[in-house]
Structure 1
Amino acid sequence: MTTPDHQSPASQPPAPTTKDRVYRSPMALVGGVLLLVVVGWLGSDALFQAHGRAPWLALAAMILIVPLVIAFTLRPAVFAGEDRLRVRNPFRVISLPWGEVAALRSGYSNEVVAKSGSKYQLWSVPVSLRARKKAELRRSRAAADAARGGAPTRRAFGFGGTGGFGGAGGADLPAGPTRAETDQVMDDLRELLDRRGAEETAQGEVTVRWAYEVIAPALAGAVLLLILVATG
Structure 2
Amino acid sequence: MLRRLLATLCLFACLLTASALAQTPQLRVAIDANNPPFMYADSSGRPAGIYAKQLQTLARRSGIVISVEAMPWKRALAYLALGTHGVAGIYSNPERQKRYLYSQPLYNEVLAVYGRKADHRARYSDVSTFGGLRVGVLSGWFYSEAFSHARAQGWLQADEASRDAQNVEKLRLGRLDYLIGIRESIAPLMGDQLEELGVFSVNHTYLALPRTAANQQLLLRINQALTPP
Structure 1 or 2: larger helix share? 1
Structure 1 or 2: larger strand share? 2
Between structure 1 and structure 2, the one with the greater Rg is: 1
RCO higher in structure (CA 8 A, sep ≥6) = 2
TM-score, shorter chain, exceeding 0.5: no
